[in-house]
């Protein structure tokens, strides 16, 4: 695929320093430090409610944090709407429940932000959209509406829609956990391919097979904190913290 556009800096893709966030009195994220290099693939796992979604949603400011620094692609996150939109333009996101726009066809879903955010001419946007729909192997459904597709197909469209913006980094929030088992593979295949092409990925998932094949690092979170951070080899074979061991034994089902 096309290499990410030459960006403002050659530093890390995402730099998070001492990030803290509260919901009211509830401390969801505690002193998170995380640096994601360009081209790095990171898988985040952890028990339900540990703050995984909250963490990656802070990266494109779907959630606001109260303390700490987030720098994405050399742009520091502030409250400024223009700056936030600038960051979002380079950060693709895929949601658990797809969040396709049901009133627009698959093709229109993919063209919307190209036309309105990138101000591309319609024809060019459609060409790009078809290119990515082709890649997730769903181009033949381009004129259908999301409501007429299966879950797996919808999630692949959602990935294509995000890729159409030619993002420098992709965020995935449990992209396969709303899918029936037989559809999980078709989505994971797309993600694996994307990883092999060098996309920077930050991925919340419990698909440990995926983590083993593509992740450069696996991060385990619990109670708003990063507990363990390791390459998949050592993460799965000899997890250091007890909580990680417990979690792994539960999730791997033994």
Ligand X SMILES: Nc1ncnc2c1ncn2[C@@H]1O[C@H](COP(=O)(O)OP(=O)(O)OP(=O)(O)O)[C@@H](O)[C@H]1O
50 binds ligand X (CB under 6 A): yes
* CA-CA-CA-CA dihedral for 229, 235, 238, 240, to nearest 10: 20
Exposure string over 87-119, b if 16+ CB within 10 A, otherwise e = bbbbbbbbbbebebeeeebbbbbbbbbbeeeee
Q: How far, rounded to the nearest angstrom, does the alpha carbon of residue 189 sit from its chain's CA centroid?
A: 15
Choose which of 66, 67, 148, 234 interacts with other proteins (CB under 8 A).
148
Is 54 a binder of ligand X (CB under 6 A)? yes
What character string, x for contact with ligand X (CB under 6 A) and - otherwise, covers 65-94?
------------------------------
Distance CA 138, CA 116 (A): 23
Residue 108 CB, nearest distance to other proteins (Å)?
10
Helices (H) and strands (E) in the chain, counts: 9, 10
Q: Using CB distances below 5 to 8 A depending on partner kind, what does residue 51 bind out of Mg ion, other proteins, ligand X, none? A: ligand X
Residue 205 lies near ligand X (rule: CB under 6 A) = no
Whole-number Cα distances in Å, 230 to 16, 110, 140, 198: 17, 35, 41, 20
Applying the rule CB under 5 A, the residues between 47 and 66 that interact with Mg ion are 53
CB of 233 vs other proteins, minimal distance in Å: 32
Under the binding rule (CB under 8 A), the answer on residue 161 touching other proteins is yes
Among 13, 53, 184, 201, contact with ligand X (rule: CB under 6 A)? 53
Q: How far apart are CA 10 and CA 140, in angstroms?
A: 38
Q: Which residues contact 145 (CB under 8 A, 6 or more apart)?
A: 102, 103, 104, 105, 106
Among 102, 121, 209, 231, indicate the residue that binds other proteins (CB under 8 A). Answer: 102
Residues that bind other proteins (CB under 8 A): 60-62, 81, 85-86, 88-89, 91-93, 95, 97, 99-103, 112-113, 116-117, 144-148, 161-162, 165, 171
Residues that bind ligand X (CB under 6 A): 23, 26, 28, 46, 48-54
């Amino acid at each position: 695929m096309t290499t990410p556009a030459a960006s403002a800096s050659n530093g890390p893709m995402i730099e998070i320093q001492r990030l803290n966030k509260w919901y009211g009195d509830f401390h969801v994220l505690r002193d998170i430090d995380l640096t994601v290099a360009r081209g790095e693939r990171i898988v985040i796992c952890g028990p339900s409610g540990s703050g995984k979604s909250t963490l990656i949603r802070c990266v494109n400011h779907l959630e606001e944090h109260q303390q700490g620094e987030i720098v994405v692609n050399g742009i520091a996150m502030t409250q400024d709407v223009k700056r936030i939109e600038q960051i979002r333009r380079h950060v693709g996101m895929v949601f658990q429940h797809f969040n396709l726009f049901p009133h627009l066809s698959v093709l229109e879903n993919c063209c919307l932000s190209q036309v309105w955010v990138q101000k591309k001419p319609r024809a060019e946007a459609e060409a790009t959209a078809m290119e990515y729909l082709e890649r997730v192997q769903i181009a033949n459904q381009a004129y259908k509406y999301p409501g007429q597709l299966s879950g797996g197909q919808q999630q692949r469209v959602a990935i294509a829609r995000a890729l159409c913006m030619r993002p420098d980094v992709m965020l995935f929030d449990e992209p396969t956990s709303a899918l029936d088992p037989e559809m999980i593979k078709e989505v994971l295949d797309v993600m694996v391919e994307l990883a092999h092409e060098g996309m920077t990925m930050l991925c919340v998932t419990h698909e440990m097979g995926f983590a083993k094949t593509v992740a450069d690092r696996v991060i385990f979170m619990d109670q708003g904190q990063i507990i363990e951070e390791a390459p998949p080899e050592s993460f799965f074979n000899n997890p250091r913290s007890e909580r990680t061991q417990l979690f792994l034994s539960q999730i791997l089902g033994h």
